[in-house]
Amino acid sequence: MWGLLARVVAPACLVGGLLTVPAGAVHAADDYPWAWQGQCPIVPQAPIVEPPPPPPSAPPSGAPSPGPSPATPEPAVAPPPPPPPVLDPVSGHLYDPRGPRPTCARRVWSIDGSIGDPWGFVLRNCTSFVAWRLHERNGMTRFANDFRGEHWGNAENWDDVARRLGYRVDRVPAIGAVAQTDAGRVGHVAWVTAIGAGTVTVEEYNHAVAGGWGSRTVPVGTFRYLHLADVEPSPFIGSDRPVVSVPDGLGGSWTARVDDRGTLWLAAPGRPARTVGPRRAFSPLVAPALTLSRQGMPWVGATTRAGRVLAGTPRRGRLALRRVADSAPTASPALALSRTGRPLLAAVSPDGTLAVRRLTRTSGWGRPHRVGRASSWSTHAAPVLGHDTDARGWLVAVTEAGGTFAWSLGRGRLSRLPGAAASPTSTPALTSDADGTTYVHQVTADGRLRSLRLTGRRWRGPRTVVEDVSPYASPAVGVVAGRLLVAVTDARGVVRLRAAVPGQRSRLPAPLTRARAVGDPTASPGLVTRRGGAYVVAGRGRATRTWLLARPVAAVVPRSTPERAGFTP
């Protein structure tokens, strides 16, 4: 009977690990309809034997001997009755509280002789619980073990089945996605309830609690994610990076970053970082924007958790931020200087409308100038402002449909860049090399890094620079050792360094261009130029890593971590 049922119903997922407290879980409740119901086969237990009564104690030495025994023996005292049995909620069996609790020989529970739920999975196992979640929270009322003609079976099979059916399977979580791993004997699946900066919180069954519910927060790379019918899109964006940097023209750089608690930090060249604005008020999922005035003073802008863009520059020795625009809390603003030397700020509103504002002569911000069609721009990528070698200003941005557009500020119309559709979760890079050529680097939706070159007012290309790039991270491009270098995160969460111009070499030795694992395909790298050299910064929070690429004299040295760079965590 058991063998037949085991062939018909999907086996249970293997369990193991420790249960941790969830951090801000959206759905943290055990509403599984068979919670603690049914019985599992238990390991045979030894019978409980009452200890024999102690023998009568002998009379003490020197005491008078007892008299003759009475003619009639004393009646025997009956032993106390055993305690009532107790129900074990895990195994579903009654047990004698004087002995150990029953232990499941197999983590398979039966109700009225059946071990299967209505969808063909094993009761009180991870596959059954996730199927229940997909029905109740994702609206997949037809999901079952034979969904769309495929046998889903063990948890280790789910990613392969999802790919065959055309569902997206990647390393980027979303609310309501199925978290899946092949680890263990038959794999494990869980349901995503919350997403943090580099972490994911899941609900699951039969993991740390035998046949029971649990919730834990783990690094994003613990699972792969099956996007069958996500409840909400992933909050991860291409404008997230550990640090942004602007060279000051004297061999140093200003740097800005938002830490994982939402505090904005700004560092002058050679000085320690200082907090700017209210602490813990900014979105830890987006990077700040930074540019320098003609006097070498910083303009900094950042998106708050509530979706407000605060921007400012030092005045009378104090940097005060003021509200300039509204932004999607998943998109960074952009800052640059106009021809007149006054800053420009671009931001994408929560509904996907792109607008540019200019600082007026009276130090107030002018009315927003809407760019392109309203509600058409990606809210998971940042616009980019910059200049070409002729000092002309450019705005580059990505639409929700993956179109990349460039606009020469104040002149002409938006022009769509040629080539395949871009990833709407990856921010482009607009840079110029030492020879004065301006490039746009953009990740396509299918994971290729392409470059386009500006000739006059036309963008030529595209040309592929790197294959197998994560579409959920942004490239970082800068001049290192006299060549344009690009740092990208690949689909496995590994940072790779390459020459940014096809056909060129980076001039860096192999140990420095070798890939370095970060483990998070949504984490964008950063490039920073300091007096001590050029650095790559990758990762998030405590997992942030820094390594030295080249010194100003182009003498390449091994990896090093600066002590007072201002951008280390």
Which residues are CB-contacts of 49 (< 8 A; sequence separation ≥ 6)? none
Quickly state the pLDDT bin for 157 (edges 50, 70, 90). Answer: very high
**564 domain residue, yes or no:** no
Quickly state the pLDDT bin for 202 (edges 50, 70, 90). Answer: very high
Of 227, 262, 296, at which residue does a domain stop? Answer: 227
**85 domain residue, yes or no:** no
pLDDT at residue 216 is higher than 70: yes
Q: What are the E-state strand segments in 414-455? A: 415-416, 429-432, 438-443, 449-455
Tally the C-alpha atoms within 13 A of residue 15's C-alpha that lie toward its C-beta.
23
Q: Work out the mean pLDDT of the chain and round it to a whole number.
A: 83
pLDDT value at position 364?
85
Which CATH number fits the domain that encloses residue 331?
2.130.10.10
Please report the DSSP string for 315-366 in residue order: ETTEE--EEEEE--TTS--EEEE-TTS-EEEEEE-TTS-EEEEEB-TTS-B-
Q: Which of 411-415, 449-453, 464-468 is predicted with the least confidence, judged by mean pLDDT? A: 411-415
pLDDT value at position 562?
41
Tell me, yes or no, if the pTM score tops 0.75: no
- The answer to whether 312 and 323 have CB atoms below 8 angstroms apart is no
Quickly state the pLDDT bin for 53 (edges 50, 70, 90). Answer: low
Q: Judge if 324 and 437 occupy the same domain.
A: yes
CA angle 237, 241, 246 (to 5 degrees): 130
**563 domain residue, yes or no:** no
**179 domain residue, yes or no:** yes
Domain housing 168: 2-42+106-227
Q: Judge if 217 and 266 occupy the same domain.
A: no
pLDDT at residue 464 is higher than 70: yes
Q: Which of 69-78, 215-224, 392-401 is predicted with the least confidence, judged by mean pLDDT? A: 69-78
Q: Judge if 328 and 401 occupy the same domain.
A: yes
pLDDT at residue 555 is higher than 50: no
pLDDT value at position 391?
83
Quickly state the pLDDT bin for 64 (edges 50, 70, 90). Answer: low
pLDDT value at position 73?
63
Q: Which of 3-12, 118-127, 378-387, 522-531 is predicted with the least confidence, judged by mean pLDDT? A: 3-12
Which residue has better confidence, 508 or 141? 141
Encoded tokens for 58:
């002998």
Instruction: Let me know if 322 is exposed, middle or buried by CB neighbors in 10 A (0-12, 13-18, 19+).
Output: exposed
Quickly state the pLDDT bin for 57 (edges 50, 70, 90). Answer: low
